[in-house]
Structure 1
Amino acid sequence: MTHLWWARRDLRLHDNPALLEAQADGPFAAVAAWTPPLHFWSGRRRAHLARSLWSLREDTGGALAVRRGDAADVVVGAAREADARVVWATREFSPSGVAEQDAVAAALEDDGRELRLHGSPYAVAPGRVVKGDGTPYKVYTPFLDAWRQHGWRRPADPADPAGFTALDSKDDVAVDLDQIAAHGDAEDAIEPRHEFREERLIAALEDFIDGDVGSYAEDRDRPDLDATSHLSTALAFGQIHARTVLALLAPLRSDGSRVFQAELAWREFHADTLWNAPQARRESLTPVLDEKDWETGRDADDAFKAWRDGRTGFPLVDAGMRQLAQTGWMHNRVRMVVASFLVKDLRLPWQRGADHFRRTLVDYDHAQNQLNWQWVAGTGRDASPFFRIFNPHAQLERFDPHQRYVQRWIPELDTPEYPEPMLDHKAERETTLRLHKQAKARR
């Protein structure tokens, strides 16, 4: 019996349990759905997805089919063509991912077929790490301890790229992937492009583990140093599994390797939080200001544009926003600073910033984006205290002491063309704290 692999957020041959199950009984087919919601993605993310699918299609000798349409229609059609009674896919946990797989499962059942979900995008699937009473963790540090104690499986064996059986259909749109990528580039160009080939991503991971991870604990907050893994895009698209990273870290005993492991746990904590509280995708889990205290109107829109365009007059904020606009990526320390500035200096709702990151990040991951914004805003689970307000001047002095990062992204920094600070940080901090205390007293 032929099986079908439905490629989702697991675009890789290595460490892919669902793919291995599909190939376990011999030749199998594979399909990915280019669904209508992808048209709402940024051009840069669509371009990266198209290239990633092209690369995986090349690695499978052209056997991966890529078809337009709703996931249910695409998967059922491919299963009929392959005469596959069983479809294998990696389980998703985000609200949209769950809704999609439920729709596919129902359509396959109506057609006399079955969807089997195996594996997840995480080392430990959301919902697995719970307290003794069976409730989810709401604080990161005990979650981290329990996550480590729970442990994870070793990486799965690589799939056989020669085991794929090609589907022959006029509905296959893989020939258009180059054009889709080109359109995405024209609409929303970035430079440099993010790496999309699996073998190169694995090589870059191994180089990082062999090198910079040793100093990761000391250097990870320095945007002027190239000291981070740059794995976020690969993890977001499922081109590398977190379990693969953890297996390479396992023999190491450095502070850097342990801190890097904890960063992966932070990613999984947010996925677990969204799984248990799906309203967190748009709603604050903990209110911090009254609705009337958030800035609105034309002045708020102008402030947002200055922030978006990197024209606030605060060099670290502006450098980060320009890096994001030009590359589709931003250093994590700088992400925290620019987010704090938007929410606590400008007093704009975190959702506005989260939406802008969704439109501009290539490494956009829904759970990470929404919950990291809520962390900075003080509204999420185990959030940064609302009274923690990043001082952009102090952050610059501490983490970019020679101003190499800001000078790289703001060539006019020391010229009359660079704007004066748009606000008094000390005064805005005091106002925000006062409003927070007033709101807290009323709750």
Structure 2
Amino acid sequence: MSTALVWLRRDLRLADNPALAHACAHHAQVVPVFIWAPDEEAPWAPGAASRWWLHHSLAALADALAARGSRLLLRHGPTLQALLALAAETGAGAVYWNRLYEPAITARDSAVKAALRATGLRAESFQAHLLWEPWTLASGAGEPYRVFTPFWKAASRAPVALPRPAPDARPAPAAWPASVPLATFGLLPRLGWDTGLRAAWTPGETGALARLGAFTDAALARYRDERDRPGRAGVSRLSPHLHFGEVSPRQVWHAVTTACAGAPLEHPGGEAFLRELGWREFAHHVLFHFPHTAEQPMQERFARYPWAADATAELAAWQRGRTGYPLVDAGMRELWTSGWMHNRVRMLVASFLVKNLRIPWQQGARWFWDTLVDADLAANSLGWQWTAGCGTDAAPYFRVFNPQRQGEQFDADGRYVRRWVPELAALPERWLHAPWTLPTDEQARTRFVPGLSYPRPLVDFAASRAAALAGFEAIRAGAAP
């Protein structure tokens, strides 16, 4: 009676899971296993918020498998030793998994595949995490894409396979091997800072499909018009579910296609949303072909940028949401509380850190890595380099987001700022995004004192913008910092 191991990683779902489907179709017994080996992902092992999500996603998957007469085995790494031991315990002749694309993981997976095959085991991997694998799309010259628009033009013409349903049966071994308790992974925080995460999210496949359904039923129709307004429920919030593989990009693509009557690229909301899904694909394309961009700028000249000499206090104020710029602070507090931040605000807070405080983008990327539930190495790296102006397809280096104007344009009614910066809640909209300008009579009426009730701006926007641009001009001219 043939047995297969299904090595699960960030594909924590039953539906549209090619490795699981293949195992169930070709083997009499299937043993799903998750192996906790964070050292093998160094220097980008999951951060604190990601570990919280992973704990609850694994628990949800274990429940789903148990409801179908199967189990999720949990083991500690090293991965190769754990798989070999489990194969010996079960008599498995095959190990299947779905591919991931980060540099450390691809190197580990290649070594594991070669070692498993050397012992006589069948080892196969499948496509599940992306719509188009990084090596399948290339420019007319046969080179990796460096600019999103031509990438998207080529990708959006490529077919997207239909998602597969969950296998009906979960063939189980007669005797299950031992599994370590989930708590031994130590994924949950020792101090209870996760209250906001628990209130905001439902990790697991059921939660992912519910969120996808809610988005396509309601928000998709107005997505193009409301996606930039953080105070409204205008975005999908699917990013952590996609990262952990609780829903597949194929499922998302085809759900949007169905909601758009089969023509999503001709539907305003559908086209705008699928384009964002395309950015996720592009991020993985770039990181796969240029793995150094997780830590180094794509444009080498930016390594010479003259960063601020000592900005420890400024970095701490940014992290705590105490910069004195309401929309920046609202975003950073939303991040700390919920493990997520609206994309428009992500661009703003990143621009403020890099261009107004002149703190290296890598420090911001590290903070996001630890605090985001959707922390994804490809998307995080691409996003920070785009905002910093040093990456592929980067925003112009001279673009510096003005926090006051961004607030007035995208949070005009103040709904977002008032929620996350409650000390500003009583201020009229006229002064909400520039509370340091509040007149004396309004200070008395609202009992709000700039500098006491809420910090004054950490830096002057105009002066800090000028300093940032001077630094960019210096490296453009080849001057030493």
TM-score bracket, shorter-length normalisation: over 0.9
| Correspondence for 2:327 | 316
Is 1:52 equivalent to 2:57 in the alignment? yes
**2:171, 2:190 → 1: CA distance?**
33
Structure 1 stretches of 4+ moved >6 Å: none
- Alpha-carbon distance in structure 1 between the residues aligned to 2:173 and 2:232: 45
Closer, same or farther: CA 291–190 of 1 in aligned 2, 3 Å: farther
Moved more, 94-103 or 39-48: 39-48
Residues 239-270 of structure 1: per-residue CA shift (max 9 Å, x gap): 11111000111231420111000000001001
Matched residue, 2:132 = 124
Task: Determine helix, strand or coil for the equivalent of 2:144.
Answer: coil
Counterpart CA distance in 2 for 1:140 and 1:420 is 38
8 Å CA contact 2:304, 2:475 repeated in 1: no
What is the CA-CA distance between 1:222 and the residue it aligns to? Answer: 0.3
Q: Distance in 1 between matches of 2:163 and 2:372?
A: 28
Equivalent position of 2:438 in the other structure: none
SS in 1 for 2:230: coil
Deviation at residue 78 of structure 1 after TM alignment: 1.6
Q: Which runs of 5+ in 2 are unaligned?
A: 428-447
Tell me the residue number matched to 1:28: 30
Matched, 1:199 2:199: no
State the partner residue of 1:368. 379
1:187 shift after superposition: 5.8
Contact 2:296 2:303 in 1 (8 A): no
Question: Is residue 106 of structure 2 the alignment partner of residue 95 of structure 1?
Answer: no
Task: Tell me, yes or no, if structure 1 residue 334 matches structure 2 residue 336.
Answer: no
Aligned with residue 246 of structure 2, among 215, 239, 242: 239
- What displacement does 1:203 show? 2.1
Q: Distance in 1 between matches of 2:371 and 2:175?
A: 35
SS in 2 for 1:60: helix
The whole-number CA distance in structure 2 between the counterparts of 1:76 and 1:18 is 18
Cα deviations across residues 165-218 of structure 1 (Å, max 9, x unaligned)? 476334x114537x845x426364241422113123212211211211010000
Decide which moves more: 212-221 or 118-127. Answer: 118-127
Larger radius of gyration: 2
**What whole-Å deviation, never above 9, does each CA across 1:353-391 have from its counterpart, x for those lacking one?**
000000100110010001110000011110111011101
- Conserved 8 A contact 1:43-1:187: no
d(CA) in 2 for partners of 1:12 and 1:55?
A: 9
Q: Does 1:259 align with 2:267?
A: no
* Residue correspondence of structure 1 range 140-151 to structure 2 within 5 A: 140-151=148-159
Report the equivalent of 1:430. Answer: 466
Q: Is the 8 A contact 1:44 1:190 kept in 2?
A: no
Q: Residues 439, 79 of structure 1: CA spacing in aligned structure 2 closer, same or farther, 3 A cutoff?
A: same
Note the alpha carbon deviations across 1:387-418, whole angstroms, 9 max, x for none. Answer: 11101111000000011111111111253320
Please give the alpha-carbon distance, in whole angstroms, between the structure 1 residues aligned to 2:293 and 2:186.
32
> Where in structure 1 are there 5+ consecutive unaligned residues?
none
Task: Give the structure-1-normalised TM-score.
Answer: 0.94
Give 1:36 deviation, angstroms. Answer: 3.8
Change (3 A) 1:32 1:374: same
Cα deviation code 1:121-163 (max 9, x no counterpart): 1011112111122111111011101001122211123223533
CA distance in 1, matches of 2:330, 2:269: 26
Segment of structure 1 superposing worse, 363-372 or 128-137: 128-137
Instruction: Indicate the SS of the match to 1:116.
Output: strand
Q: Which residue of 2 aligns with 1:7?
A: 8
221-230 or 425-434, larger mean C-alpha shift: 425-434
* Residue of 28, 40, 43 corresponding to 2:48: 43
Range with bigger deviation, 107-116 or 55-64: 107-116
AA of the residue aligned to 2:289: N
Separation (CA, whole Å) in 2 of partners of 1:30 and 1:166: 14
Aligned 8 A contact 1:55 1:196 in 2? yes
Q: Across the two proteins, how many residue pairs are aligned to each other?
A: 438
1:36-57 C-alpha deviation (Å, 9 max, x unpaired): 4389533332222111111111
Quick one: percent identity of the two aligned structures? 38
CA change 1:167–1:409 in 2 (3 A) is farther
Residue 133 of structure 1 corresponds to: 141
Tell me, yes or no, if the aligned pair for 1:52 and 1:196 is still in contact at 8 Å: yes
The one of 390, 393, 398 aligned to 1:387: 398
Return the alpha-carbon distance in structure 2 between the equivalents of residues 428 and 278 of structure 1: 32
Over aligned residue pairs, what C-alpha RMSD do you find?
A: 1.9
SS of the residue aligned with 2:32? Answer: strand
The answer (yes or no) to whether the contact 1:36–1:70 under 8 Å persists in 2 is no
TM-score by length of 2: 0.87
Rounded to whole Å, the distance in 2 between the matches of 1:359 and 1:406 is 23
The answer to whether the 8 Å contact 1:205/1:229 transfers is: yes
Supply the AA of the counterpart residue of 2:397.
Answer: F
Cα distance in 2 between the residues matched to 1:424 and 1:30: 55
Partners of 2:31 and 2:10 in 1: how far apart? 17
Please report how far the alpha carbon of residue 111 of structure 1 lies from its aligned counterpart in structure 2 after TM superposition: 2.6
> Residues 246, 104 of structure 1: CA spacing in aligned structure 2 closer, same or farther, 3 A cutoff?
same
C-alpha separation between the residues in 1 aligned to 2:299 and 2:243? Answer: 26
How many Å separate the matches in 1 of 2:174 and 2:141?
49
The question of 1:85 aligning with 2:93 is answered yes
The Cα of 1:229 is off from its aligned counterpart by 0.6
Q: Distance in 2 between matches of 1:160 and 1:364?
A: 32
Distance 1:161 1:100, change over 3 A: farther
Paired residue type of 1:332: N
Between 1:342-351 and 1:189-198, the stretch displaced more is 189-198
- Please tell me the residue identity of whatever aligns with 2:123: L
Provide the rounded CA distance (Å) in 2 between the counterparts of 1:101 and 1:283.
Answer: 24
How big is each residue's C-alpha offset from its partner over 1:67-119, in whole Å with a ceiling of 9 and x where there is no partner? 11211122222222221221110011110210221232133134321320111
Amino acid at match of 1:442: G
Q: Does the CA-based 8 Å contact 1:214-1:256 persist in structure 2?
A: yes
Counterpart in the other structure of 1:112: 120
Is the CA contact 2:87–2:93 (under 8 Å) kept in the aligned structure 1?
yes
Q: Give secondary structure in 1 for the equivalent of 2:75.
A: strand
- TM superposition shift of 1:4: 1.2
How far is 1:289 from its partner? Answer: 4.5
